[in-house]
């Protein structure tokens, strides 16, 4: 949580710029139909490209074991800790 730093020379002489993006404000600029279409697209992405694989679900009390299991086979998916 530190302030951002930008080199003024880069902004002036290299034509660079800074912009902010706030999803909530951007969504407010869309009509209801567009919002529904976007929500559906995100849901599809979560089922396909953004899908997360889990190799195990363990109780929080077994966090040390979960870390060992994940470290032993990181490509098998995430280990989900359940409260």
Q: In the predicted model, is pLDDT for residue 4 greater than 90?
A: no
Per-residue pLDDT of 38-83, as tens digits, reads 999 999 999 999 998 899 999 999 999 999 999 999 999 999 999 9
| pLDDT (mean) for 21-42 | 96
Q: In the predicted model, is pLDDT for residue 1 greater than 90?
A: no
Q: How do the domains of the chain map onto residue ranges? A: 7-51, 52-83
The larger pLDDT score, comparing residue 4 to residue 12, is at: 12
Question: Which three-class secondary structure string do you get for the chain?
Answer: CCCCCCCHHHHHHCCCCCCCCCHHHHHHCCCHHHHHHHHHHHHHHHHCCCCCCEEEEEEHHHHHHHHHHHHHCHHHCEEEEEC
């Amino acid at each position: 949580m530190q302030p951002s730093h930008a080199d003024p020379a880069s902004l002036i002489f290299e034509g660079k710029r800074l912009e902010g993006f706030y999803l909530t404000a951007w969504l407010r600029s869309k009509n209801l139909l567009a919002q529904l279409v976007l929500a559906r697209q995100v849901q599809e992405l979560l089922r396909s490209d953004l899908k997360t694989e889990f190799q195990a679900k363990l109780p929080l009390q077994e966090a040390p074991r979960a870390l060992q299991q994940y470290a032993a086979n990181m490509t098998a998916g995430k280990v989900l800790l359940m409260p």
